[in-house]
Amino acid sequence: MFFGKREKRKLLYWFERRLHASPLIELALHKKVPVHKHSVWYYFGGISMLLLMVQFVTGILLMVYYVPELGSAHASILKINSSIEFGWFIRSLHSWGANLMILAVFVHFFSTYFMKAYRKPRELTWLSGVLLLVLCLGFGFTGYLLPWDEVSFFATKIGLDISSKTPFIGELVALMLRGGHNIGQATLSRFFAIHVAVLPVMLMGLLSLHLAIVQAHGMSAPKEFNETPEDKKEYEPFFPDFFLKDILVWILAGNLLFVLTMLCPWGIGPEADPFAPAPIGIKPEWYFLAMFQFLKLIPPMVGPMEGELFGVLLMGVYALALALVPLWDTGESEARSKLATALGVVTLLFMVIFSAWGAMS
* Interacting residue ranges for ligand HEM, rule: CB under 6 A: 42, 44-46, 48-49, 52, 105, 108-109, 112, 117-118, 122, 125-126, 129-130, 132-133, 136, 207, 210, 214, 219-220
Q: What is the smallest separation between the CB atom of 19 and ligand HEM, expressed in angstroms?
A: 22
| Length of the chain as a residue count | 361
Give the residue with the Cβ less far from ligand HEM, 95 or 164: 95
Q: What is the smallest separation between the CB atom of 25 and ligand HEM, expressed in angstroms?
A: 18
Helix/strand/coil percentages in the chain, nearest 5 = 75, 5, 25
Give the residue with the Cβ less far from ligand HEM, 56 or 357: 56
Q: What is the smallest separation between the CB atom of 188 and ligand HEM, expressed in angstroms?
A: 25
The CA-atom distances, in angstroms, between 124 and each of 120, 301, 326 are 9, 39, 9
Give the residue with the Cβ less far from ligand HEM, 112 or 152: 112
Give the residue with the Cβ less far from ligand HEM, 129 or 311: 129
Q: What is the smallest separation between the CB atom of 41 and ligand HEM, expressed in angstroms?
A: 7
Q: What is the smallest separation between the CB atom of 136 and ligand HEM, expressed in angstroms?
A: 6
Strands 305-306 and 301-302 turn out to be antiparallel
Quick one: which of 40, 50, 157 has its CA closest to 101? 50
Give the residue with the Cβ less far from ligand HEM, 36 or 91: 36
Q: What is the smallest separation between the CB atom of 105 and ligand HEM, expressed in angstroms?
A: 5
- Nearest-angstrom CA–CA distance, 307 and 295: 8
Quick one: which of 41, 18, 1, 58 has its CA closest to 257? 58
Q: What is the smallest separation between the CB atom of 31 and ligand HEM, expressed in angstroms?
A: 11
Quick one: which of 142, 162, 7 has its CA closest to 68? 142
User: Using an 8 Å Cβ cutoff, are 294 and 316 in contact?
Assistant: no
Give the residue with the Cβ less far from ligand HEM, 218 or 269: 218
- Nearest-angstrom CA–CA distance, 310 and 300: 10
Give the residue with the Cβ less far from ligand HEM, 126 or 141: 126
User: Using an 8 Å Cβ cutoff, are 139 and 199 in contact?
Assistant: yes
- Nearest-angstrom CA–CA distance, 100 and 287: 11
Q: What is the smallest separation between the CB atom of 157 and ligand HEM, expressed in angstroms?
A: 27
Give the residue with the Cβ less far from ligand HEM, 173 or 249: 249
- Nearest-angstrom CA–CA distance, 310 and 106: 25
Backbone dihedral angles phi then psi of residue 221, each to the nearest 5 degrees: -135, 155
Quick one: which of 358, 202, 218 has its CA closest to 295? 358
- Nearest-angstrom CA–CA distance, 232 and 212: 29
